[in-house]
Structure 1
Amino acid sequence: MNLLEQHRDQAATPKGAFEFHLQRIKAIVDFIATKDETLGGNWYLAGDTQQDALQYEVFANGAASKAAIDVLKAEYGHGKKIDRPKVIGIWNGRQTDGATAIMSLMIDTGVISNNIELSLDEKANGLSRLGNYKSVAEVVAKVAELYRSLYVTFGPRAYQDQQVFDDRLGVSWMLYLPHALAPAQVPEARDLIPVMRDGKQQGTIIVSVTDEVFDVNNLEHVKAANDIEIRLADQDLLPRFVDL
């Protein structure tokens, strides 16, 4: 399963603010750890080899570690590299099937949006490591609230080949949009979950399947997501990638 989102940081956020970005992503790491114990414990900076990828812990004593910040500064924090887009990869250090998790943060992207991707190696029993759809939606909402996301999607990566529009977002298992949506607008959705901020609805999570984990090999699941995409596009509510 994959979670993907895009957001825009405030213009005042300095380039190369590695501590800021790692500290913010820690809130997501801590939250998903409550859903599955294999997502807890130590997370590490990604490396070219397995040995490299277990060398630097990303967090220490409840904060971004000095070692990880120093490594990122050495790689990106000087000369012309400070102004260029940067990718920070972290992983949970687990190497057994169904336990690996990788997060990728793209920052300092300039005119385009920053993004986060979480890739979860799923268990073989057909269950999601993050739980049922309501539990997964809590993770999606947490990301949307923390980053004021332009969108958040969650579902199998392979669904990208089965979505309706090549130039627009796909719904997959669930899609967060920063709009308050009513059931009459998306009657094909199995659930619409409001995401709140400061007592006001900042967006909606649109869920395509509620009784089981979304499966790209299940034609009914794919059709449910496709139907929602068509409905949203007809109302100009499904963003094009070029507009993000």
Structure 2
Amino acid sequence: MYLSSQHRDSVNLPKADFEFHLRRLRPVIDLLSAKDAKLGGDWFLGGSSIADAQRFPVFSGGAVRKDAIDELRRKNADDIDEAKFIGIWNGDSRKGCGGSIEFCIDSTVFPNSIELTVNEIAANTSRLGDYKSAADVIIKVAEIYTPSNLTFGPRKYLGKQVFEDRPSVSWMLYLPHVLTSSQVPEARALIPVVRDGKQQGTIIVSVTDEVFDVNNRAHVKAANDIEIRLADQDLLPRFIDL
């Protein structure tokens, strides 16, 4: 499964504050670990080979390791004021065991982003559980980052979405709007995301009775229909407008 989220950070946030961004990400990793134990344990900075990508554990207990921060500073020494792309992974390359997170920080021209990849054993499986369980991860990301959009589902669905210039619905799509069933009658479920006692957005679910399968035409059609419905109401933004 694949999660893709976009957000804007405060312009007052210091550049190259790697500790802040990794510490902010930690609650998401803790939740992933609760969903699948193989996503727990050590997470490492990415590298050019498996050996290289196991050199720098990112966390020690609840803290970000100093040597990981120092390595990121070394790698990004020439790009302090530019957008930076950071990759971490759970150190397990076995089939159906791996997980990785890539995120962009310090971007001013385009949104910052988070991309989570959870390697599955088969196309119709989800290590994060059913739609309600997987939605917990979406809610956590939405609470922390207040994204402009977030898509969750099989990565291969990206080749089957209706609009290339807009976010896809896939299995689930988060938008920062309060949505009702009358606005999106094709949705199988609408999950409100609440922050500080107020609804900040909605998760739109295309399939609820089983795991979204990109090889299932009915599943793809359900997601496509929702995308068309949202676009017709100007609720599915273009990436260029975000």
Alignment TM-score > 0.5, same fold: yes
Q: CA RMSD in A?
A: 1.0
Deviation at 1:17, TM superposition (A): 0.4
Q: Separation in 2 of the partners of 1:196 and 1:2? A: 23
Q: 1:76-155 alignment to 2 at 5 Å?
A: 76=76, 78=77, 80-124=78-122, 126-155=124-153
Deviations along 1:2-61, one digit per CA (max 9) or x if unpaired, are: 000001111110110000001011111011110000000000000001111000000012
SS of the residue 2:21 aligns to: helix
Q: Separation in 2 of the partners of 1:127 and 1:81? A: 39
Deviation at 1:125, TM superposition (A): 7.9
SS of the residue 2:108 aligns to: coil
Q: Separation in 2 of the partners of 1:183 and 1:91? A: 38
Q: Percent identity?
A: 59
Runs (4 or more) in structure 1 with deviation over 3 Å come to: none
Q: Separation in 1 of the partners of 2:123 and 2:2? A: 17
Give yes or no for contact 2:123–2:213 (8 Å, CA) kept in 1. Answer: no
Answer yes or no: is 1:232 the counterpart of 2:240: no
One-letter identity of the residue aligned with 1:62: G
One-letter identity of the residue aligned with 2:49: T
Find the counterpart in structure 2 of residue 205 from structure 1: 203
One-letter identity of the residue aligned with 2:7: H
Deviation at 1:189, TM superposition (A): 0.0
SS of the residue 1:176 aligns to: strand
Q: Separation in 2 of the partners of 1:49 and 1:55? A: 10
SS of the residue 1:13 aligns to: coil
Find the counterpart in structure 2 of residue 217 from structure 1: 215
SS of the residue 1:81 aligns to: coil
Deviation at 1:127, TM superposition (A): 2.3
Q: Separation in 2 of the partners of 1:234 and 1:124? A: 34
Q: Separation in 2 of the partners of 1:9 and 1:238? A: 21
Q: 1:44-83 alignment to 2 at 5 Å?
A: 44-76=44-76, 78=77, 80-83=78-81
Q: Separation in 2 of the partners of 1:30 and 1:92? A: 12
SS of the residue 2:35 aligns to: coil
Gaps of 5+ in 2: none
Question: How many corresponding residue pairs?
Answer: 242
SS of the residue 2:126 aligns to: coil
2:192 to 191, 194, 211: 194
TM-score, length of structure 2 as denominator length: 0.98
Deviation at 1:85, TM superposition (A): 1.0
Gaps of 5+ in 1: none
Deviation at 1:81, TM superposition (A): 1.2
Find the counterpart in structure 2 of residue 37 from structure 1: 37
SS of the residue 2:27 aligns to: helix
